[in-house]
Amino acid sequence: MTAIVTTQFRVLNAENFKEDVADANSSVYVGIGKADAWSFNTSDITDTTPFLPEDHADDLAEAYQNMIGMKRINENDISQVVPRYTWGAGNSYVPWDSRDQDIYDKQFYVLTSEFKVYKCIRAGSGASSIQPVQTLTTPQLESDGYIWKYMYTLSVADAEKFLTISYMPVKTIPLDFVDDNAAQAALSEADFAQYLNQKASRDSATVKGIERIIVTDGGTGYTSAPTVTITGDGTGATATATVNNGEIVSVTVTAKGTNYNIADITFSGGGGQGSGAARAVLAPPSGHGVDPVAELGGFFTAVNTQLIGNENGDLVIDNDFRQVTLIKNPIEFGTNDIATAPTLRATRFLEFQSGDITAYQVDEVIVGQTSDARAYIVEIDAQAGRVYYYQNSKTGYKDFQGSEQVLGQFSNNTAQLKATDFKGNPEVQRGSGDILFLENRDPINRTAQQIEDIKIIIEF
């Protein structure tokens, strides 16, 4: 038995993830964590190459233990994206082909210097030399032989948030508004312009017309051009054949017709003795330019969020992080409720009754002298008398004990914990929710004046 997962299914999964983020009953957070070095023991504070994350329960649980804080993303922080192919003179592009199972791995569309997106309907005989600039509904022929279909123009907001060297945002504007006035009132200027182009493409007289016919068998013995017959569920398409040395060498579409989902091409007459054959390249199900996400293969999703300063005290500054995660539906600590706060602190804290906690060093390991519990210091809050910490597989997970002395591994500082109520909890239940994405990276330092612009690309 053989089977495939279709591109449509992958696109749908990407769309469903976007809807999860927008759903008021769901929460998705970007988490940052791991202030300690990429090493195998607590005494080694020199980073190696970031460890390769693995998709198993132990690695994901470790990432949760390393967690420092989380920031919730909203529907404006997520977009479907596709690989970016920037138009350049001298580059060759492939045309859309409804039968090419690898089409979404090929450069069949471009982003121009004007931030306009075009789909290649027919390639020229060589490299492209004319950058398309038109915004017409009907695919247009350029002097270099390329035919381009205008799709949409990136808005400034989408480009700033989701455009990278490797990916570009793609979206489909719903066409279910009562009328154009309602659409204009609801959409931004850029989205309304795209709405009008999609609508015009849908309503075109040649929507789902046949743009191109490929000869698959030229046959033999043709003394003249045979008659080309196109049959299918659409209407109005016509074409003519060209013969050279007794073979059919090309078929030219003379009328595109409309609404073809299936089409057969047959030849008759012309004295041919061979099995001349050809196939029609069909438009996507909605037609060219009507559904950009589906047409360009939008099964990638980009998440973009900015970490600004300490984010109301929940995201530590003057430290670094080495892991980025996406977590769906984490639970607020001490409840059964899905967390909804804009930010969450993920670290525990210790409170002391004596000693100078400011003499500890951020990132050093502290050791309970009675319990032998060990942990990494993430932040020191002298005013509250708290030391925020986390534990992982390098420190182990022993609990600290009340009234014990706590020694700093490098500072040699000692302070004594309170006898009771010496340990505080994070704002999120560690291990709750589902980690959807995990990236290990080189350390990123955080300061109060700095903004980290985090972009995550997920392929479905």
Q: Estimate to the nearest angstrom the gap between the alpha carbon of 184 and the chain centroid.
A: 28
How do 277-281 and 67-72 pair as beta strands? unpaired
Residues with Cβ within 8 Å of residue 5, at least 6 apart in sequence: none
User: Which CATH fold topology does 1-80+293-346+426-460 show?
Assistant: baseplate structural protein gp8, domain 1 (2.60.340)
- Could you identify the residue written with the tokens 């993303």? 73
Separation of alpha carbons 306 and 295, rounded Å: 30
Residue 151 to residue 112: CA distance in whole angstroms: 12
Q: At CA 238, angle to CA 232 and CA 241, rounded to 5?
A: 110
pTM, two decimal places? 0.90
| Separation CA 215–CA 457 (nearest Å) | 39
Identify the pLDDT of residue 181: 97
Percentages helix, strand, coil for the chain (3-state, rounded to 5) are 15, 35, 50
Domain residue ranges in the chain = 1-80+293-346+426-460, 85-163+173-205, 212-281, 349-425
Q: Give me the pLDDT at residue 2, please.
A: 84
For residue 442, the SS3 value is strand
- Taking only the tens of pLDDT, the chain with its 460 residues reads 788 889 999 999 999 999 989 988 899 999 999 999 999 999 999 999 999 999 999 999 999 999 999 999 999 999 999 999 999 999 999 999 999 999 999 999 999 999 999 999 999 999 999 999 999 999 999 999 999 999 999 999 999 999 999 999 999 999 999 999 999 999 999 999 999 999 999 999 999 999 999 999 999 999 999 999 999 999 999 999 999 999 999 999 999 999 999 999 999 998 877 678 999 999 999 999 999 999 999 999 999 999 999 898 899 999 999 999 999 999 999 999 999 999 999 999 999 999 999 999 999 999 999 999 999 999 999 989 999 999 999 999 999 999 999 999 999 999 999 999 999 999 999 899 999 999 999 999 998 888 999 999 999 9
- How wide is the angle at C-alpha 52 spanned by C-alphas 51 and 56, nearest 5°? 115
CA within 13 Å, CB half, 355:
22
| Beta partners for residue 240, in sequence order | 227, 252
Using the 8-state DSSP alphabet, how is residue 106 labeled?
Answer: S
C-alpha to C-alpha distance for 106 and 92, rounded to whole angstroms: 11
Residues 327, 330, 333, 336: what is their CA dihedral angle, to the nearest 10 degrees?
Answer: -170
| Calpha distance 255→240 (Å, rounded) | 10
- Going by the DSSP 8-state scheme, the letter that residue 179 receives in this structure is S
Distances (CA, A) of 318 to 25, 171, 321: 34, 38, 10
- Cβ 68 vs Cβ 378: under 8 Å: yes
pLDDT at residue number 274: 67
Identify whether the C-beta of residue 114 lies closer than 8 Å to the C-beta of residue 159. no
> Is residue 453 within 8 Å of 377, Cβ to Cβ?
no
Neighbours of 176 (CB within 10 A): 6
Q: Using only C-alpha atoms, what is the Rg of the chain?
A: 30
What tokens appear for 213 in the block?
């016919």
